[in-house]
A = this chain, B = another copy of it.
């Protein structure tokens, strides 16, 4: 069991609430986080160990602890940093376009930092960037005046879908053939009629590897559902 991830301490790093900027210091939380992200980008979260990061920076593992409390904190900081600045509002484009673009941008973040989906998120560490992303999605939804729309609920639903779709897509990316084999071997038509028909005999690898389309499609349906609730019988147009 890992040590008791202290959320308050973590928050202080995430929001740069540290007490003093310190003096003659070579290392800093920011450089550590940056290196850790670089390593994770290249080798996945598994490649990030205190020793490894220290080594990359030319220090010893224990040196890092002067700046980051513990590994959980480091990972939390990496995470929030990796999300980066949330997309700027684009009211002019209309709410649908804005939300679709939001989802696409988030998808790109996961492509750029695949390890984000591996981050064990025990005790949701909500950092500034993560919050800003959420805000950027909630705003257009909130301005919508759709009957009985639960903004937080929808926003959570959507963020969740994006994250998990990204996770699956990245996993398949990494492990396509093995996955396809197992499936091919066991996907018999009696037990799984629908799936075996849909996947056909070609195996699903190619179709499912890029979940971008699934995201677009699901999102589209969801937005159609929202549009239904807008005032005035404004018919949902065909957005294909």
Contacts and interface: CB of A to CB of B under 8 A. Distances in A.
Interface of A: 1-2, 7-8, 11, 15, 43, 46-47, 118, 120-126, 128, 131-132, 134-135, 138-139, 142, 148, 150-154, 156-161, 163-165, 167-168, 171-172, 174-175, 178-179, 181-183, 185-187, 191-195, 197-199, 204, 207-208, 211, 213-215, 217-226, 228, 236, 240
B172 A131 contact: no
A90 to B, nearest CB: 15
A120 B122 CA distance: 13
Tell me if A's interface is mostly helix, strand, loop or mixed.
helix
A2 B46 contact: yes
A184 to B, nearest CB: 11
Nearest to A146: B221
A217 B46 contact: no
A208 to B, nearest CB: 7
Contacts of A228: 224-225, 228, 236
